[in-house]
Amino acid sequence: MFRTLIGRSGIIAPRSSLLKKKVNYCSCSLRQFSVQGKDMFNFERYAEGFETLEVSVNNDGVAKILLNRPDKMNAMNMKLWEELKESFDVVNNDSTVRCIILSSTSKHFSSGMDLAVFAEMAQSHKQEKCPGRASEKLEKSIEFFQDVCSGAELCNVPVLCAIDGNAIGGAVDLLTSCCLRYCTQQANFSVKEIDLAIVADVGTLQRLPGIVGEQRARELAYTGRLFNGIEAHKMGLVLECFETNEQMMETVEDVAKNIACKSPLTMRNLKRNILYSRDHTTQEGLEHVRMMNSSILFSNDLTKIMTATMKKEDVGSVTFED
């Protein structure tokens, strides 16, 4: 049972650097995870030892994951990448978490990839004498970063991203993977990789065209120019743009609370169906939702809603099991 759960949710990345050693994740056992002394089924307790993220979960089931390297403008070092990976994986195991707010503890969302990560990748690449093995190792490193960013998209619950200040490079990869995005007017975005002579490879080029249109995505990726929150709202990158961080967080928290009170079973499968339909034809999407609903339609949650409706009770007061 445990192996099945881990296979569905994704294996948690080890604390040691993934750039130095390839790990056979499939061989991980329950004992290996228990050695860490952490509760994989309680996100808030699991995250107590995190160094780069601040995590909390309120009574409504809304988890906040806040990037927390304020002295480095939340630059994404290896520890931050690893802790993000762990966060999305453990959330999948913690059924009490019903929605995530991804933001930061400081005035900037993130300045993107920490240059120390590039240096470590370059050093690892040089140390491998075989060109083929060096390329293979580099591919696995890129795959890890891709998996981290995809974690927001693939985890069981909706992820709301609240952006203030700078969101540069790798930060755009991460935020485009989130379900809903909000920002302040003073937010600044950039698909910065072109200015570093890098092809963005962690998700922006795959997701941004579907959000803002191919032509706009090309222009942003080709130029690497900065654009503010107002423009981000106009092009559709964010759902709403606010004058202040306080206004933004108040709205985002209200939306998250609204989402968290819905049927978790329905919400999980709703998210999966929207993602599936995005990447498939309309007919394939219809077939997918038909098969899905034939499995979960007549749930205890539906019975509760229908009973409350027939009794003319407030449907919004209905509570659901995790």
Answer whether 218's CB lies under 8 Å from 173's CB: no
- Residues 249-296 pLDDT 10s: 999 999 999 999 999 999 999 999 999 999 999 999 999 999 998 988
Over 70: is that where the pLDDT of 153 sits?
Answer: yes
Residue 28: its pLDDT value, please?
Answer: 35
Residue 8: its pLDDT value, please?
Answer: 34
Domains of the chain: 2-260 (3.90.226.10), 264-317 (1.10.12.10)
* Band of pLDDT at residue 36, cut at 50, 70 and 90: low
Q: Which residues of 239-261 are buried (b: 16+ CB within 10 A; e: fewer)?
A: bebbeebeebbebbbebbeebbb
The sign of the dihedral angle between the CA atoms of 66, 212, 85, 132 is: negative
Residue 37: its pLDDT value, please?
Answer: 56
User: What is the rounded CA–CA span in Å between residue 249 and residue 5?
Assistant: 33
Residue 318: its pLDDT value, please?
Answer: 81
